[in-house]
Amino acid sequence: MDLNNIKDPSVVKNLTDEEMRNLAQDVRNFLINNLSETGGHLGANLGVVELTLALHRTFDSPNDRFLFDVGHQSYVHKILTGRGGQFDTLRKYQGLCGFPKRNESEHDVWETGHSSTSLSAAMGMAIARDLKNESHSVVPIIGDGALTGGMALEALNHIGHEKKNITVILNDNEMSIAKNVGALHSALARMRSAGKYNRVKDDFEWLLKKIPAIGGRVASTAERLKDSMKYFVVPGMFFEELGFTYYGPVDGHDFEDLQGNLDYARKTEGPVIVHVMTQKGKGYQPAESDVKDKWHGVGPYKIDSGEKIKPADAPPAWSEVISEALREEAREDERIVAVTPAMILGSKLEKFGEEFPDRLYDVGIAEQHATTMSAGLATQGMRPFLAIYSTFLQRGYDQVIHDVARQNLNVIFGIDRAGLVGADGETHQGVFDIAFLRTVPNMSIMMPKDENEAKHMVHTAVKYEDGPIALRYPRGNALGVEVADKPETIDIGSWETLKPGKDAVILTFGTTIPLAIEAAETLQEQGVDVEVVNARFMKPMDEKMLHEIFERNIPVLTLEEAVVQGSFGSAVLEFQSDHGYYNRSLKRIGLPDRFVEHGDVKDLWKEVGLTRENVVDKVLKLLPQSEKRA
């Protein structure tokens, strides 16, 4: 079947199981071939091919609502809903989004890039359906990893209580991004090994009916006996105790098994859990055999060998730079404990865990718990390092304020993926953390210009005794500079001048320092001498240097890869106002007041004005007319 020409899911409605199997193979080949060029979330999508096809055969999208939790497993859904012909643009600038996108298709009813949200959204949609006297199905598809998130458990509790008609598809592949952890994961494992609960229950009911009538006692106790079977067949029966009807486990790659259980679930009143077993990476050997889940999200690769296509001799990733520096510190300081919410691989903590297995804790997809657990560690004199993506720290914001900063605890926040991350788009852009952390009392925030300074900042954070401190670092590779053998402590709040100048000053840090240097060099050619300052601490700022700059009465430009509202530039503007430097020229460059979509970071920088031309233009406009050069 030509997948580029599929217009809507009706194509699967009347297919036989054999035709569905052939289509599944076509879909797998399509994904393997296309993602070898564009990159994307391969493993998750290969695992849900049959499941997605069966869902679209059973239900009627968009009338029935499909909510893909996290959304990185929605590629098959996109193909069946008429977007196969756009896959050459997947995750590219102004191309097909790698997650569900409401403005892409009427079949995408819920947007998500963070896990554990689908059940709460589904509950809202079910309530709205019932209030409007409508009758469509609401079908959230959630992974076993996402189910460990607190928000998902809150929603399960509420759905079970309200008895709403919601069909929850539990896609159980024993993985999220990495191997799942926790007691709930273990409970699911027991369910997997227990076999088909409903099939056994139905067989038991059939046997009861075969017993000759021997009085009222059998009849009156049969239903209780039947219900009590679940305690023997599926240990705990967690979901049924919450008020759900449980079907499964179901073979997620067997159309007959899928179809029978989905049909049964669709007709069942009240909330239903269909527990579907799938294999992540199904149908592509390198992804199937990937125990560390390096095929979750991939760049381009060679199909035959599975070899990843990467630039030769690239510098180490920023995450690796930070984790290696932390590992060195941990050898000298037994108080250091690394904590991460399901991101051991993403934050490059594997080697730390190998060397210090008792000092690395993966808490699963539980950012709030990770933050408060780190606070608990700090109360006992430990030095917790919470490795967490900027976009995921948003979920722990209350805990940052209430549990960490309010108690002024020595928690180190390793804020990974700070800045624009590119292909993952709006849900993953790490551009808000400066703004939402800067207003928190007791919090310090810093960002290195290169890996050498990063090593010093890790050491500085470990030695810091005056409260929480955040160390931001971007996605991608570092610069490749030489790193000192011995780390040094940096004075908290201190800045450094990278290039002196007398006509204007650019205050910047981290990823935008090279841009500032380039702009200053261009301005130098035009006769404008611009100073560039590495404002490596966003909080506290170097107030002594700021006073000196404003007293020189020269224009100031702040430059940052973060939202312009409330971030570093706003802090400088507040300083200017608070200290009465009213007649000084100041301009801020940062991200505009909107969400930035997916694409190559270079294209996104151009879109939002992080360009040499824009920086040069803004500096020239700040200069008094008499100082501008031809």
Query: Is 104 tagged catalytic?
Result: no
Q: What is the dihedral of CA 456, 458, 459, 463, to 10 degrees?
A: 130
What 3-state DSSP class applies to 334?
A: coil
C-alpha separations of 186 from 151, 181, 235, 342 in Å: 19, 8, 11, 16
Catalytic residue among 65, 78, 359, 395: 395
Asked whether the beta carbons of 368 and 395 are under 8 A apart, the reply is: yes
Asked whether the beta carbons of 166 and 272 are under 8 A apart, the reply is: yes
466 alpha carbon, distance to own chain's centre: 30
In the structure encoding, which two tokens stand for residue 61, read together?
């999208």
114 is in an annotated binding site: yes
Asked whether the beta carbons of 393 and 433 are under 8 A apart, the reply is: yes
332 is in an annotated binding site: no
Query: Is 367 tagged catalytic?
Result: yes
Catalytic residue among 65, 101, 164, 280: 280
Asked whether the beta carbons of 205 and 230 are under 8 A apart, the reply is: no
DSSP 630: -
Q: Please count the residues of the chain.
A: 630
Supply angle C-alpha 151, 156, 162, rounded to 5.
125
Over 568-616, what HEC string results? HHHHHHHHHHHCCCCCCCEEEEEECCCCCCCCCHHHHHHHHCCCHHHHH
235 alpha carbon, distance to own chain's centre: 32
Strand partners, 116: none
570 is in an annotated binding site: no
247 is in an annotated binding site: no
491 is in an annotated binding site: no
What 3-state DSSP class applies to 591?
A: strand
Nearest CA-CA partner of 433 in 445, 424, 423: 445
Return d(Cα 568, Cα 179) in angstroms, integer: 37
Query: Is 395 tagged catalytic?
Result: yes
Catalytic residue among 320, 324, 367, 531: 367
Return d(Cα 520, Cα 527) in angstroms, integer: 10
Sign of CA dihedral 421, 426, 427, 433: positive
173 is in an annotated binding site: yes
By the 10 Å C-beta count (0-12 exposed, 13-18 middle, 19+ buried), 102 is classed as: exposed
504 is in an annotated binding site: no
- In which residue are the tokens 């194509």 written? 11
Beta-strand relationship, 496-499 and 530-534: antiparallel
Return d(Cα 590, Cα 558) in angstroms, integer: 8
Strand partners, 317: 477
Nearest CA-CA partner of 425 in 387, 388, 391, 472: 391
Order of all β-strands in the sheet with 383-389: 360-362, 336-340, 383-389, 412-416, 469-472, 444-446, 537-539
Backbone angles phi, psi at 553, to 5 degrees: 55, 50
Contacts of 578 (CB under 8 A, 6+ apart): none
Q: Summarize the annotated binding site for Mg(2+) as residue ranges.
A: 144, 173
Q: Which residues are annotated as a binding site for thiamine diphosphate?
A: 72, 113-115, 145-146, 173, 284, 367
Binding annotation = 72, 113-115, 144-146, 173, 284, 367
Residues noted as catalytic: 280, 367, 395
